[in-house]
Amino acid sequence: MAQSRGGPPRGPGGPPRGPGGQRGESGDRRRRGEGDRQSRDREDSEFAEKLVSINRVAKVVKGGRRFGFAAIVIVGDRKGRAGYGSGKAREVPEAIRKATEQARRSLVRIPLREGRTLHHDIVGHYGAGEVVLRAAKPGTGIIAGGPMRAIFEALGVQDVVAKSIGTSNPHNMIKATFEALNRSVSPRSVAQRRGKKVSEILGKGATAEARE
Statement: the pTM of the whole predicted model exceeds 0.75:
no
Q: Name residue 97's amino acid.
A: R
Q: Name residue 17's amino acid.
A: R
40 pLDDT band, cuts 50/70/90, is very low
pLDDT of residue 39: 41
pLDDT of residue 108: 93
Which among 2-11, 14-23, 175-184 has the top mean pLDDT?
175-184
pLDDT of residue 43: 46
For residues 170-199, one letter each, b for 16 or more C-beta atoms within 10 angstroms of the residue's C-beta and e for the rest, the string is bbbbbbbbbbbbeebebbeeebeeeeeebe
Give the C-alpha separation, 156 to 171, whole Å: 21
Q: Name residue 94's amino acid.
A: E
Share of the chain above pLDDT 90, in %: 52
**Per-residue model confidence as pLDDT tens digits over 174-198:** 999 999 999 998 888 888 888 888 7
pLDDT of residue 99: 95
